[in-house]
Copies of this chain bind each other. A is one copy, B any other.
Amino acid sequence: MMQLTHAEENYLKAIYQLSEAGKKGVSTNDISAEMKTKPASVSDMLRKLGEKEVIEYRKYYGVHITEEGKKFALRTIRKQRLWEVFLVEKLRFAWDEVAEVADELEHVQSTILIQRLDEYLGFPKFDPHGDPIPDEYGDVRSRPRLPINEIDINGTGQIVAVKDSSAAFLRYLDKVGAYIGARIKVLEKVEFDGSIEILVDNKKTIFMSKDVAANILVMV
């Protein structure tokens, strides 16, 4: 079984996630932005990933991830999310503090380590941001979910995930009192700017911009 370097794992994970979001081919510039490296560096990496057949690479036309590539990406994502659960559940990290550390931990090579960690954590199905944790075969049991701004007025649901996991956004959610698991009801949608008022746990109302609403995912 061919091996990927840390850098290759990071790129492949980014490519997988970008292609999940956008569906079609992922551009060099997109990857460059996501990875905070220069487009020239991305081109070079794409060549290498292409040679390893984890992506299909047509010069100038973006990339598609292969089935083999998906397996690798999902393995890394599984590791990342299990470590995130560990950091939050066991080491009392806040959900906005886990990204950097998990991004390192995900590269530790040991099948048994991950199996044991999974078991130790009680086989969690979702990470602290509500993202599904692939099983060891790469199967992802994803929940149907909608951004709040697509919920009808008076519609209800439960917050199950966030689309943006940046520390800034997560801390904002903490501040206003939105969290994974919260039951919400859409009270009002302002036509003018798309901003939204929701009721949280039948107790507290929160006003949020359309931008914020679009990054909170709800299961109806």
Contact = CB atoms under 8 A, between A and B. Distances in A.
Interface of A: 87, 90-93, 97, 100-101, 104-105, 107-110, 112-113, 116-117, 120
Contacts of A116: 91-93
Contacts of A100: 110
Contact of A108 (B91, B93, B105, B120): B105
Contacts of A109: 104
Q: How many copies does the complex hold?
A: 2
Q: From DSSP, what is the main secondary structure of chain A's interface residues?
A: helix
10 contacts: A91-B116, A91-B117, A91-B120, A100-B110, A101-B113, A104-B107, A104-B108, A104-B109, A104-B110, A105-B108
A108 B101 contact: yes
A192 B100 CA distance: 59
Contact of A91 (B93, B104, B113): B113
Nearest to A101: B110
A41 to B, nearest CB: 19
A17 B55 CA distance: 44
A179 B170 CA distance: 47
A147 B109 CA distance: 35
Nearest to A91: B116
A172 to B, nearest CB: 22
A108 B110 CA distance: 15
Nearest to A115: B91
Nearest to A90: B120
A35 to B, nearest CB: 19
A198 B100 CA distance: 50
A117 B83 CA distance: 13
A91 B91 CA distance: 15
A108 to B, nearest CB: 5
A58 to B, nearest CB: 35
A170 B117 CA distance: 23
A23 to B, nearest CB: 34
Contacts of A120: 90-91
